[in-house]
Amino acid sequence: MTRSSNGGAPTRLLVSLPSRRIHLILPLLIVVLLSAAVSLRAAQPRPGEPYALIFGTVWGPDDRPIYGAKVKIRRADQKKAKWELISNHTGEFAQRVPAGKADYFVWIDAKDLKGLKSSDGKQLEPGTEVTVSIANDERQDIGLHLK
């Protein structure tokens, strides 16, 4: 409580309490964010643990590197991409994957190439999917060639 400026009786400060909806939404939001964080951590090797590296370059039909191509990677035994990367200014990308024997598919979808053009102005098209075989904690270099 505070005293009014005229020296009279104390006045009460009103504190606005959040609405009931925020009380219901906030715990749900926290659960969603925590589950997303846990799934992202599960997809990446933990610090200090061995890992393998898939390193690649995206090439255009004129053998120049392509910037901004969305590269997708999935394990051979899964249906959906586990990782999505964007090639950098030199056309390169890199993804850490868990060490150990596994096959991975690396590709670029046609729908992800909209707006990307070759140096002669033609719309780029995806090339063939690349299979990467990992045996242990190693680096595998690949090239993705667009048409």
Provide, rounded to the nearest whole percent, the portion of the chain with pLDDT above 90: 60
Between 19 and 49, whose confidence is greater? 49
Could you give the CA distance from residue 86 to residue 28 in angstroms, rounded to a whole number? 31
pLDDT band per the 50, 70, 90 thresholds, residue 76: very high
From residue 11, alpha-carbon distances to 15, 17, 95, 134 in Å are: 13, 19, 62, 72
Could you give the CA distance from residue 36 to residue 143 in angstroms, rounded to a whole number? 31
pLDDT of residue 21: 61
Note the Cα 94 to chain centre separation in Å. 12
Three-state DSSP state, 83: strand
Q: In terms of Cα–Cα distance, which of 76, 36, 73, 33 is closest to 53?
A: 73
Domains of the chain: 51-145 (2.60.40.10)
DSSP element (H, E) containing 31: helix 20-43
Q: Model pTM?
A: 0.69
